[in-house]
Amino acid sequence: MAIDYREEHLLRKNAILRILKRRFVPKSKAWDVANYLVRELIRSRYLLNKSVSEEMVYEIGGILNKYIFLNNQLAKRNITKGRKKLKWLFGIAACEIDNLLKPKIVERALVSCMYDMIAKQISLEKQKISEGEKNIQVYIAIHRALIKSDDDILAYHLFRLHFPNWFEVPSYGTIEKIASDLDVIIEAIDKQLSHSMRNRLFQLTRKYVAPFIILKGFLEQNLEEARELFVDPPEPSISFDPFQSPDAFSLEDKLRAVCSEKYREFKVVLRRKAGRSIIYIFITKLLLMTLRLPYDLFIVHAINYLTLVINTFVPPFLIFLIALLVRVPGESNSDRIIDGIKEIVYDDVKRKIFVTERVILKKRRFLFHFIFTLLYTLVFSITFGAMIWLLYELHFNIVSGFIFIVLFCFVFFFGISLRQPVRELVLQTEKESIFTFLFDLFTLPILKLGRWISTTFFQINIFIFVLDFLIEAPFQMMIEIIEEWIAYIKEKREEIL
């Protein structure tokens, strides 16, 4: 959990994906793979013991059987591209199995609700895009913004939209059609996932997730009386009396209480994520030390302990400082969230939150583009020039300086990302001061480089490979051998008795 630094709700799906890649070999038997998969998930505590019935194991085997059959059909048609297609299918299979183990009913309902609220309110002006394609992009943006779906989950849902029969009991004809058209299917889905409007719509929809997060929390706590509370618009709340019976609270009071609880939960989550981030940074530092020490010992012939201490302790301290400076929203933000929930629930409420959004992507003139590029290059040079000058004054050599810049940019981006959950709960318009503008201006190059390092390093996360293939897989195999040995001894004992 410390090194796989994606969202927590993706960890089980990612574990299923890793196990499938290890277990899925030519001529695999679906039930054997399903049995191993469930056992490994329970051992790793992704599932509670005795929480999965034998019937569900057979259902997982049935899911895998489809993909094994489909893979066999692909092998007959095009062997050269089979591995890429199989990798893509692994992602769909992992999502389908994860959804069977833990159905995402609430998440799907929230996505549908948010789609109904904002899809018609978004107008793409001066864009050559059809209404159907726009709706797909809004749907993808909501998934990413509201429930943090990754590309595997998005591909799974788009695949489900086009081939709903595949997720029931697909006929031989359906499997044949998918096998013959899989190249086209993958290309079409990848095209939607990398659409030019993707990031712009994501930024837009992210502004509206707060009311749905609070609404979800409210329904989880007040499911029995929710229908009564939502029948008619409530009367304005006069006051919030802490000694009043909970049953007598008005809708607004209960929503406000959920807001306060979510703000408190964020502080706990932030501390947990910050702790994991510090662990991950120390592990990364240990890896980078293997690059630095040989250079210090054999090229420089000296170890600068000041730079060693700075490289070791500054990045974790930066994470700690960013987490410490985060502030939760106030009452005015809760008021706007409550207004947004009323707009979701009641038809006759005047819209102040969910208003029409016009998305216009302007193409800048060449002169403006050239000037802005020069200015950005100047800011980039000032930021990293100052950083390199400071490191030179502190007697960093080229390797230790490089390691510090890489870690600092990565950690700064990582730390800013930790603030994202609280930003999702903010619905009020933030006032930007001149200090905020200047801070954003000169930290933008650091964030940009940090994001590039993060996304590039994520693709080649050596720690995941080491833990999965060199540590976890042999460990799981050893446990299986021990279990088989115990079962064998029990059989022999039964024979003797």
User: For residue range 348-364, what is the model confidence (pLDDT) as tens digits?
Assistant: 777 788 877 777 666 66
Name the more confident of 154 and 263: 154
Q: Count Cα atoms within 13 angstroms, Cβ side, for 107.
A: 16
Residue 432: per-residue pLDDT: 63
Of residues 25 and 481, more confidently modeled:
481
Percent residues over pLDDT 70 in the chain = 87
**Which two structure tokens, joined as six digits, stand for 50?**
């005795």
**Residue 360: phi, psi to the nearest 5?**
-125, 120
Residue 305 is predicted with a pLDDT of: 75
**Which H or E run contains 158?**
helix 151-162
CA distance 96 to 64: 10
pLDDT at 120: 84
- Asked whether 215 and 341 are in contact (CB, 8 A), the reply is yes
Rounded to 5 degrees, φ, ψ at 359 are: -100, 115
Specify the pLDDT at position 2: 56
Give yes or no for a contact between 47 and 97, defined as CB atoms under 8 angstroms apart: no
The H or E element spanning position 190 is helix 172-193
- Asked whether residue 490 carries a pLDDT value surpassing 80, the answer given is yes
Report the alpha-carbon distance of residue 359 to residue 363 in Å, rounded. 13
pLDDT number for residue 238: 45
Mean pLDDT for the stretch of residues 89-112: 91
More confident site: 451 or 73: 451
pLDDT for residue 79 is more than 70: no
- The pLDDT tens digits of the residues spanning 218-265 come to 888 877 777 777 776 655 544 444 444 444 457 788 888 888 888 888
CA distance 189 to 442: 37
Query: How many Å apart are CA 255 and CA 268, to the nearest integer?
Result: 20
Indicate the average pLDDT of the chain.
80
Range with the lowest mean pLDDT among 76-80, 148-152, 298-302?
76-80
Residue 94 has pLDDT above 90, yes or no: yes
- pLDDT category, 60, cuts 50, 70, 90? very high
Give DSSP secondary structure letters for 103-117: --HHHHHHHHHHHHH
- Residue 483's pLDDT band (boundaries 50, 70, 90)? confident
Residue 255 one-letter amino acid: L
pLDDT-derived band at 137, boundaries 50, 70, 90:
very high
Output DSSP code: residue 395: T
Torsion of Cα atoms, 177 then 82 then 184 then 12, to 10°? 90
**HSE (side-chain half, CA atoms, 13 Å) at 367:** 0
Kindly tell me if the per-residue pLDDT of 7 is higher than 60. Answer: yes
Mean pLDDT within 32-47? 88
- Which SS3 state, helix, strand or coil, does residue 496 take? helix
Contact by Cβ (8 Å): 94, 9: no
CB 447 within 8 A of CB 413: yes
What's the pLDDT tens digit per position in 367-388? 777 888 888 889 889 988 998 9
CA 117 centroid distance within chain: 23
With beta carbons less than 8 A apart as the criterion, state whether 453 and 414 touch: no
Task: Tell which residue, 200, 395, 181, 382, has the closest CA to residue 305.
Answer: 395
Q: Name the residue type at position 4.
A: D
- The rounded distance, in Å, linking the Cα atoms of 272 and 277 is 9
Q: Which of 266, 236, 268 is nearest to 252 (CA)?
A: 236
Residues whose CB falls within 8 Å of the CB of residue 427, separated by 6 or more in sequence, listed in order: 207, 208, 210, 211, 333, 336, 337, 340, 353
pLDDT the model gives residue 115: 93
- Reply yes or no on whether the pLDDT at 124 is more than 90: no
User: Does the structure show a pLDDT above 80 at 203?
Assistant: yes
- Residue 212 vs residues 208, 343, 344: alpha-carbon distances, Å: 8, 11, 9
- Please give the pLDDT value at position 23: 81
What's the rounded Cα separation, in Å, for the pair 371 and 55?
A: 65
In this structure, the number of other CB atoms found within 10 A of the CB of residue 337 comes to 27
Model confidence at 140, in pLDDT bands (50, 70, 90)? very high
Specify the DSSP class assigned to residue 466: I
- In the prediction, which pLDDT does 105 show? 86
Residue 78 is predicted with a pLDDT of 57
Examine the pLDDT at 179 and tell me if it is beyond 50. yes
Whether the per-residue pLDDT at 431 is higher than 70: the answer is: no
Which tokens in the block code for residue 29?
């038997």
Read off φ and ψ for residue 281, nearest 5 degrees: -65, -40
Q: For helices 305-325 and 251-295, what crossing angle results, to 10°?
A: 170
